[in-house]
Amino acid sequence: MGAEGSHSLQHLVNTVAADVTDPETGVSVAARARARIGVAGNNPGANEEAKENAKIAADPSKDFPIEPLGSGSDYSPFLQHLGLAALNIGFGGEGQVGGVYHSAYDTYEYYSRFADPGFKYGPVLAKTAGRVILRIADADVPPQRYSDFADTMGRYADQVKKLADNKRDAAETQAKLFALNAFHLVDDPTKTSGPPVGLKPVPHINFAPLENAVDRLKKTAKDYDAALLAKGAAQPERVKAQLFDIGRKAEAALTIEAGLPGRNWYKNLIYAPGRLTGYAPKTLPGVREAIEEEQWDEADKYTVLTAAALNAYSDQLEGGTRLLNGGNTSASAK
């Protein structure tokens, strides 16, 4: 199983996957997914994010991580334009379907012989996605758990800070090599050559608003999750309805009307397809792509905007915690 989506739904995916049996191994879909993430992160050439995911998956006390959503399917307008939580779930990794999907060869015969022989995983997908839908539809209290979302935002914030630091280190190292005439000294005199394009100096971006917002989110998410677990089921229907409303408002708080730079249809400040990566996702896209494209003023601007969105998300969770504890809900009306 592979799952991508809003990280407030990560715990729900974990609980559902634990209740579905993988037909090849006899273990749960969750156990096999956890194993796949762990092994992938230990393969030679695994990137830093895969290695980090492997560490999380190897800890049985934690939910195995789901991936962020980019684009390429029906979830895109819901998540990235309207600010509604979304999930994409699928099974793969064995049947060789690359290049066949959406082609003239994408036939019943091909699928039944090569993609899913014996039709083992089509039903497993139905059981998994069906359980997700039913548990959301029948839930007395919101199925979201926000600590996973908060921890993931901490990881994404660390990634963009490291991205800026790495670009700065590369520019400073190259400048020192220029000063030493190093590129000319290693030239082959029998061949035409020239120096590399100089890297631009990288200023220090003010990440403090984002760091503060993530720290606050981790606390508010932990408090809300604990209050919901302890007191949610006993609440009257009126309060439960308010909790669901708070969840919707929290997700919507991650969008801004101005949208992302150069593509204002994409309004979600946490998840977006990369501007130049097709379907592949970029997380904290306003900040990340500004750093990648060396738009430093834009990076500072979207660091503040993203922090404000996370703070608005925390406002909703704090309102939910007060509601569960019998207090007022003024923050949840924002």
Query: How many helices and strands (H and E) does the chain possess?
Result: 12, 4
Closest of 77, 159, 89 to residue 122, by C-alpha: 89
What pLDDT, on a 0 to 100 scale, did the predictor assign at position 96? Answer: 66
What pLDDT, on a 0 to 100 scale, did the predictor assign at position 99? Answer: 83
- What DSSP state is assigned to residue 90? E
What pLDDT, on a 0 to 100 scale, did the predictor assign at position 329? Answer: 55
- CA gap 273, 285 in Å, rounded: 8
List domains and CATH numbers for the chain.
Answer: 2-78+86-137 (no CATH), 146-333 (1.20.930.40)
- CA gap 329, 324 in Å, rounded: 9
What pLDDT, on a 0 to 100 scale, did the predictor assign at position 332? Answer: 43
Tens-digit pLDDT string for the chain (334 aa): 999 999 999 999 999 999 999 999 999 999 999 999 999 999 999 999 999 999 999 999 999 999 999 998 999 999 999 999 999 999 988 766 778 888 999 999 998 988 899 999 999 999 999 999 999 999 999 999 999 999 999 999 999 999 999 999 999 999 999 999 999 999 998 999 889 999 999 999 999 999 999 999 999 999 999 999 999 999 999 999 999 999 999 999 999 999 999 999 999 999 999 999 989 999 999 999 999 999 999 999 999 999 999 999 999 999 999 999 997 655 444 4
What pLDDT, on a 0 to 100 scale, did the predictor assign at position 330? Answer: 53
What pLDDT, on a 0 to 100 scale, did the predictor assign at position 95? Answer: 67
273 sits in which H/E element:
strand 271-273
Phi and psi for 104 in degrees, rounded to 5?
-65, -15
Phi and psi for 21 in degrees, rounded to 5?
-95, 135
- CA gap 5, 7 in Å, rounded: 6
| pTM of the entire predicted model | 0.93
